[in-house]
Structure 1
Amino acid sequence: MEKLKKIAAPLALIASLIALWWVVVVQTESVIFPTPLQVVTGTLELAADGILWEHIVASLLRVGAGFLLAILVALPLGLWMGRVEGAYRTLNPLFQIMRPISPIAWIPLAILWFGVGNVSPIFLIFLASVFPMIVQTASGVHTIEKRYLRAAENFGVSRSTLFRQVIIPAVLPEIIVGMRIGLGVAWLVVVAAEMIALRSGLGYLIMDSRNAGNRYDLVIAGMLIIGVIGLVLDGLMRFLESLKSVRWRYGR
């Protein structure tokens, strides 16, 4: 019953928006903008042909590859910057300059360097994800209470043990936050990159539907699928936040 109460309000809001959408399209007698039923019909058509699943898998694989590369680079680098003051002073200004630059602005350079293919969007996803995780991880190390580090040093623990049993558990909540931010931006970037430089993925599906006979039902379907997948990905990150090893940092 408690779970039903939590989802009742969002479901009611979504249902109201769909009803409003339907009424507006019918009342305006639009011949271009689709009704919700037309969007559902178009989605089922793509799903039956298998085309929809191919585009979804293509986008998810690109995001997965770029995001994994970002994790492999960002976490060790962020931990190092958090522990070594000289590294932080040297690298942080550069990352703070790079971080606000929209990954979309890198698309022309990505195409120039890597051509039209999967490497370009993976590179863009890497850029979108790596800086939030580096900054958040380094910030998390800086927020560790000094008494924990002093206590470990007093017991004579090795550097590897200090990282494994003190620093990483303490900074893990901040790492998850950085991953959640990075994954959200990565999902935005892959769709934009696919609209410009690729021939597969949800971004390409939207542009191809627009160009191939103004199939706006499929355009809207692609947009909604992007939103739903984004919600699911964010839910996965929120699940990580609920793990016992992470939950201690949050109020609930």
Structure 2
Amino acid sequence: MKKMLPPLVLLIALWWCSSLIIDKPFFPTPDRVVLEMVQQFLMGDLTSHLMTSLFRVFAALVFSFFPALFLGIAAGRSPGFDSLISPAVYLLYPVPKVALLPIILLFLGLGNFSKIFFVSLVVFFQFYLNLRDETAGISRQYFDSLTSLGGSKRNELRHIILPALMPRIFSSLRMTLGTAIAILFLAETFATRRGIGWYIMDAWSRIAYTEMYTGILALSLAGFLLFLILDLSETFFCRWK
């Protein structure tokens, strides 16, 4: 945390100086934004929108991670299964998922589920490819040694595959977390009145620039906190690193 303090102070100083130099209503100083954010949190409106967005991000990561983990391990350990599922992944992954958003909204409605599904669809492929490649890269010698000691497939999963995957899992979570937040912001600008994406764009449309920056800052701080939690979790679960 101490290492992060100087860059944060520098960033705030640059923001403050830039705001004073530009001197335009659309670029308020940090103190005005922070005061507005405190007021919005106390009123509860910003909290409600932020919690809605964080719930959608968390749900999307959960719903995409576990299928990707299962399929990634299976494809990494079985060339036959890999040849079955990976071509479909290679075909679908490059397709811009944003183009599918109107179709998803038509099929799944305008509520939480459509947005969670949309974000899950985007990050699933990142999870799958990372986990498949990491599983395939585990040395065969580890499996041979465990087999010679009478180890079962469950033992392979517990004592070899999952420990080997753990650092890549946290790396993938960092990458997909940023992607999930960015994609959700886009999804929340369509046909909804809940979420931090809608809050920011609504403030922009009303020329309430301080509120707009309040939403951006709140989203940034939430992401910052989530990344810190991931770092601490990795330290706990990957003590051998």
So what's the TM-score if we normalise by structure 2?
Answer: 0.91
Structure 2 match to 1:131: 125
Match of 2:19 among 22, 40, 45: 22
Residues 44-93 of structure 1 show CA distances to partners (whole Å, capped at 9, x for unaligned) of 23122110110111001111111111122111111111111111122112
Give the CA deviation at 1:32. 4.1
What SS class does the counterpart of residue 207 from structure 2 fall into? coil
Unpaired runs of 5+ residues, structure 2, are none
Distance 1:170 1:31 in 2: 52
Distance 2:226 2:98 in 1: 21
Give the CA deviation at 1:119. 1.1
Q: Cα gap change, 1:32/1:16 in structure 2, threshold over 3 Å: closer, same or farther?
A: closer
Q: Cα gap change, 1:216/1:63 in structure 2, threshold over 3 Å: closer, same or farther?
A: same
Match of 2:222 among 204, 207, 229: 229
Identity %: 29
Does 2:230 correspond to 1:246? no
Distance 2:58 2:168 in 1: 20
Distance 1:52 1:127 in 2: 27
Distance 1:106 1:89 in 2: 26
Structure 1 match to 2:172: 178
Give the CA deviation at 1:204. 0.7
Does 2:65 correspond to 1:71? yes
Report if aligned partners of 1:75, 1:134 keep a CA contact under 8 Å in 2: yes
Report if aligned partners of 1:25, 1:35 keep a CA contact under 8 Å in 2: no
What SS class does the counterpart of residue 110 from structure 2 fall into? coil
What SS class does the counterpart of residue 197 from structure 1 fall into? coil
Q: 1:77 is matched by which residue type in structure 2?
A: L
Match of 1:48 among 31, 36, 42: 42
Distance 2:63 2:4 in 1: 35
Structure 2 match to 1:114: 108
Report if aligned partners of 1:195, 1:206 keep a CA contact under 8 Å in 2: no
Give the CA deviation at 1:8. 4.3
Residues 183-236 of structure 1 show CA distances to partners (whole Å, capped at 9, x for unaligned) of 22111111111111321110010111122x310111111112222212222222
Q: Cα gap change, 1:234/1:32 in structure 2, threshold over 3 Å: closer, same or farther?
A: closer
Please tell me the root mean square deviation across aligned C-alpha atoms, in Å.
1.9
Unpaired runs of 5+ residues, structure 1, are none
Q: 2:10 is matched by which residue type in structure 1?
A: L
Distance 1:242 1:93 in 2: 35
So what's the TM-score if we normalise by structure 1?
Answer: 0.88
Does 2:213 correspond to 1:220? yes
Q: 1:63 is matched by which residue type in structure 2?
A: V
Give the CA deviation at 1:129. 2.1
Match of 2:31 among 11, 31, 37: 37
Report if aligned partners of 2:15, 2:29 keep a CA contact under 8 Å in 1: no
Report if aligned partners of 1:103, 1:189 keep a CA contact under 8 Å in 2: no
What SS class does the counterpart of residue 227 from structure 1 fall into? helix
Give the CA deviation at 1:167. 1.6
Q: 1:246 is matched by which residue type in structure 2?
A: C
Greater RCO (CA < 8 Å, at least 6 residues apart): 2
Give the CA deviation at 1:38. 3.0
Q: Which runs of 4+ in 1 moved over 6 A?
A: none
